[in-house]
């Protein structure tokens, strides 16, 4: 009779251990499934960020006067572009709600854009250009500070609520030199030589 009760106790202990292991495996399986779902959700999430700031300027050579050194350039126009980068694995659609740029305490009179919407493919980038600031009179003293404020929203094609991208960035231009990236389309030089 003693041997039956020892076997009985042993069977109860083994059954209890088996039930505990089964419960632990169920808990771990559920935890791993949640982690896999979260990883899949992150894989499908749209991710858009600012990668770089591009600046185009137009300049003209300063006249040789007492206040201006030989070879200096005056800044006559500045345009800022924001490089938007898709760090996710799904195409991202963006809409720029507002983009304001000021430079040397000057703000453009009006903001004109060809388009405020676009799409960026995974791993790709695009540059959204501000309309530009004509600087009349030209900027002579450097360095000068500027400020960019962007309010953008982006999403994927799933129809989920758009995510916001809002940033304020300050930048400094040290001066306009020969060889500065120049966009000649916006220059209207009426001076005569």
Instruction: Give the structural domain span for 142.
Output: 48-186
CATH code assigned at 69:
2.60.40
What's the pLDDT score for residue 143? 85
pLDDT tier at 113 (50, 70, 90 boundaries)? confident
| Three state DSSP letters for the chain | CHHHHHHHHHHHHHHHHHHHHHHHHHHHHHHHHHHHHHHHHHHHCCCEEEEEEEEEEEEEECCCCCCCCCCCEEEEEEEEEEEEEECCCCCEEEEEEEEEEEECCECCCCCCCCCCEEEECCCCEEEEECCCEEEEEEECCCCEEEEEEEEEEEECCCCCCCEEEEEEEEEEECCCCCCCCCCHHHCCCCCCC
Residues 34 and 71 in one domain: no
What's the pLDDT score for residue 6? 83
The total number of residues written for the chain in this structure? 193
Residues 32 and 96 in one domain: no
Q: Is the pTM of this model over 0.85?
A: no
Residues 98 and 181 in one domain: yes
pLDDT at residue 65 tops 50: yes
Per the structure, the count of domains in the chain is 2
| Residue-wise pLDDT tens digits, 29-63 | 999 999 999 888 888 899 999 999 998 888 877 77
Residues 112 and 27 in one domain: no
Mean pLDDT of all residues in the chain?
A: 82
Residues 12 and 57 in one domain: no
């Amino acid at each position: 009779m003693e041997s039956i009760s020892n076997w009985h106790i042993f069977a109860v202990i083994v059954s209890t251990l088996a039930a505990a292991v089964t419960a632990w495996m169920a808990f771990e399986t559920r935890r791993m499934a949640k982690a896999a779902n979260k990883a899949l959700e992150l894989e499908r999430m749209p991710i858009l960020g600012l990668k770089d700031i591009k600046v185009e300027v137009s300049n003209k050579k300063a006249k040789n006067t007492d206040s201006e050194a030989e070879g200096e350039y005056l800044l006559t126009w500045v345009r800022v572009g924001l490089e938007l980068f898709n760090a996710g694995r799904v195409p991202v659609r963006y809409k720029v709600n507002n983009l304001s740029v000021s430079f040397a305490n000057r703000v453009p009179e009006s903001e004109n854009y060809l388009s405020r919407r676009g799409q960026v493919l995974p791993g790709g980038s695009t540059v959204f250009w501000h309309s530009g600031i004509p600087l009349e009179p030209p900027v002579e003293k450097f360095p000068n500070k500027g400020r960019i404020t962007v309010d953008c929203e982006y999403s994927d094609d799933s129809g989920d609520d758009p995510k916001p991208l809002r940033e304020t960035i300050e930048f400094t231009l040290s001066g306009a030199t020969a060889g500065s990236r120049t966009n000649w389309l916006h220059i209207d030089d009426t001076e005569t030589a």
